[in-house]
Structure 1
Amino acid sequence: MKKTSLTLFATASLLAVGVAQAGPPVEVTFKNLGTQPATLKLVTSNESTTFQIANPKPDQTVQPGSQTHMRVQRVVSPDINAAMVRYTIGSKTCAFGTTYQMRTLAGGIKKPEWTKTATPSGGATCQATIISMAADYSWVVEFTMK
């Protein structure tokens, strides 16, 4: 009984530490503005990790005129988070990314930075837009493709 209690306590402690070390969450919306279904394609390890930790998971197929949503929060550091996703429509591909990093400047001043990228190939039109940033450093990003 003591061994089980110790194991449960240790597990709970590790989970609590993990939550305390999580970076701010990002809410991601992907919108298919094309005329054919968009298909999720995991190519890089960052895209695979994003999909694994997303809650809810993004749809693997997004119909024309539709959208999918995911929330991503990495448990690496309270000072970083990122989400990467790639969708294809036929031969068109959009690789999207967004990151948050708390930078420490000279004198110990901390400055939050958010980035977004949308990399097209095959004639795709891709756009990434940061919609909002909150006081707790969480943010909302929208990725569109056609």
Structure 2
Amino acid sequence: MKTIFQFLCSTVCLLATGQALAGPPVEVTFKNLSAKTVTLQLTNANENSTYLIANPKPEQKVNAGQSIKFTVQRQVSPDVNGASLRYSDGTKTCAFGTSFVMMLPKWSKAANPSGGATCTAVNSGFGANYSWKAEFVMK
């Protein structure tokens, strides 16, 4: 019985520690305002890790005029978080990113177009716990 109790206590402590190390969550909205369906492309480590920890997972395809939402919260440190996303219609591509670093504190955003795409990123909705919302728009 003592061993089971020790195991349960250890498990609770590990779970609590994991929660304490989590960075502030970011709620991401991606809007496809282009005329074509776009496809998710995971081309670097940041995009792959965003996809792996996103809840729910970003859609593989987003139809014209459609939007999706997901949340990302990294478990690495309470002082950082970020999300990266890239969609393409085969010709036009938008690579998006948003991040938070506690040191200042500072939120950043990026929208990098290629192939004639128009891409915008906006950060908003900052919470007392440093959580924020990011909106990525592709045209």
Relative to the length of structure 1, the TM-score reads 0.89
Note if 1:122 corresponds to 2:115: yes
**1:41 paired residue number:** 41
Runs of at least 4 residues of structure 1 off by over 4 A? 1-5
How far does residue 3 in structure 1 lie from its aligned partner after superposition? 4.3
SS in 2 for 1:133: coil
Q: State how far apart, in whole Å, the 2-side matches of 1:144 and 1:20 are.
A: 32
C-alpha deviation, 1:5, in angstroms:
4.2
State the match for 2:138 in structure 1.
145
Per-residue deviation, 1:12? 2.4
Structure 1 residues 114-123 or 10-19, which shifts more?
10-19
Match of 2:89 in 1: 89
Structure with more strand by fraction = 1
Q: Distance in 1 between matches of 2:76 and 2:59?
A: 25
Q: Following the alignment from structure 2 to structure 1, what is the Cα–Cα distance between the partners of residues 46 and 11?
A: 27
Structure 2 match to 1:55 = 55
> What's the TM-score, normalizing by structure 2?
0.93
Shift of 1:132: 1.9
Gap runs ≥5 in structure 2: none
Question: What is the CA-CA distance between 1:94 and the residue it aligns to?
Answer: 0.7
Identity, % of aligned pairs? 55
Name 1:66's counterpart in structure 2: 66
Instruction: Provide the aligned C-alpha RMSD in A.
Output: 1.3
